[in-house]
Amino acid sequence: MKARIGFYILLFLTFVSCETDFAPLVSLGLDDAYIAPRMKAVFLRPGLEGEAYQWTLTAPDGHQSVVSNQKDYTFLESELGTYHLNFKILDETTPVNEDITVFVVEEQRKYSPYISTVYEYRPAPGQFINDMPRYVIGDTKESMRRKAEESIRGNVRRGVSLGGFGGYIIFGFDHTVMNIKDKRDFYIEGNAFNSGAHPGLEVGSSESGIILVAFDDNQNGIPDDTWYEIDWYPDVTKEIAYMDYEIKYYRPNPDKYPDPGQGSISDKTYIKWTDNRGKEGYVMKNVFHNQAYYPQWISDDEMVFRGTRLPNNASDVSGNGTYYLQFMFPRGAYVDNYPDGAVDSEGNQRNHFDISWAVGIETRERVHLKGIDFIKVYTAQNQYLGWLGETSTELFCAEDLHIGRQ
């Protein structure tokens, strides 16, 4: 501790002396030195412009590389130590050559590897909606957000249901989740399971949710930045998925007379939906779940969701709607696709995801992200399976794999 106090005093003196020595550089808008906790971005936004720019970074181990040729640079590192940055404006009239030191220090309050905040919870209609988490009269969008947060933050693992296609949740951690090279970066737990009757086959309950990620580019702490889709095998996705799928759900009339269907279906025309492919259908009601299925805190009479829709994965093995098996997507990096602990042919955990798999939602091209602040998960199938109800992604927990459990 003593050593650290000494270090800060030294730093303070450095700042004081720098202020006097380099006063004319104030218009550049950059300091000579910064202290940043690990996994927190430092936004370097020079106030001067020129023809071309160059940022060179020297890491604590001495490795030097040109890290950007843009005017602005976002410094974000996870390893502790002293980093030296050099910023050049390559311009004949106003050349700039500025050295900046960034001290990456340990965070003051130890980071949690788990979810700290739920930013938004907007499920689509479904049999577990208003129940997981539970809605009570008077609940609002904000109180339901808080209930969702209480259900999946930390190591609570109570879980939330996202309902039918498009229903989503947005959450984050108390730091930026780093994209470590050649490593998977985060884990998300769903409730998929293997069918005990079919050992060796990847079938059972599998209700895939697509993962979107974003970095807080504008540093306002809210997820209003560009989203990227986690897509492990973009070529496969292009082949099997429906891009730009849009669905609209209609609030049922509370006085609607139930229209019983086969077996356990208590209302087969319960909540109508239409999509942008000219199809329509219903989220049916079953006798196992008698509460309202349309999110009761939502005042809109219609809910619209858009995204990538995965194909149906169920097979009615009974032939009469009593026994379904869902096939897991072997090339899919989805939430609730594989059971917890499942591994692929290379021994990697199926529910561990790599930020390097991010693609542009429109372009479907890979992008490089240093880290992410926000994760959004939405149900990616529009499938109805008799007494099992609609296919809906459930989410119980998420974890940054680079922090370590406490």
**What are the residues binding Ca ion (CB under 5 A)?**
179-180, 183, 185, 191, 207, 216, 218, 220, 224-225, 336, 354, 356, 394
CB of residue 232 to Ca ion, shortest distance in Å: 12
Q: For Ca ion, which is the closer residue by CB, 225 or 246?
A: 225
The first and second tokens of residue 324, run together, are 């379904």
CB 31 within 8 A of CB 21: no
Residues 6+ apart with CB under 8 A from 316: 323, 324, 385, 386
Q: Which is nearer to Ca ion, 120 or 225 (CB)?
A: 225
SS3 75: strand
Shortest Å distance, C-beta 178 to Ca ion = 8
First to last CA, the chain: 22
Sequence-distant (6+) residues with CB within 8 A of 42 are 34, 36, 74, 75, 76, 102
Element (H, E) at 314: strand 314-316
Smallest gap from Cβ 326 to Ca ion, in A, equals: 9
As a whole number of angstroms, the distance between CA 4 and CA 9 comes to 9
> Minimum CB separation from Ca ion for residue 302, in Å?
25
Q: How far is the CB of 38 from Ca ion (least distance, A)?
A: 16
DSSP state of 124: P
* C-beta of 252 vs 295, nearer to Ca ion: 295
For the CB of residue 209, give the shortest distance to Ca ion in the complex, in Å: 9
Which is it for the CA torsion 189, 288, 251, 314, positive or negative? Answer: positive
Whole-angstrom Cα distance, residue 210 to residue 393? Answer: 9
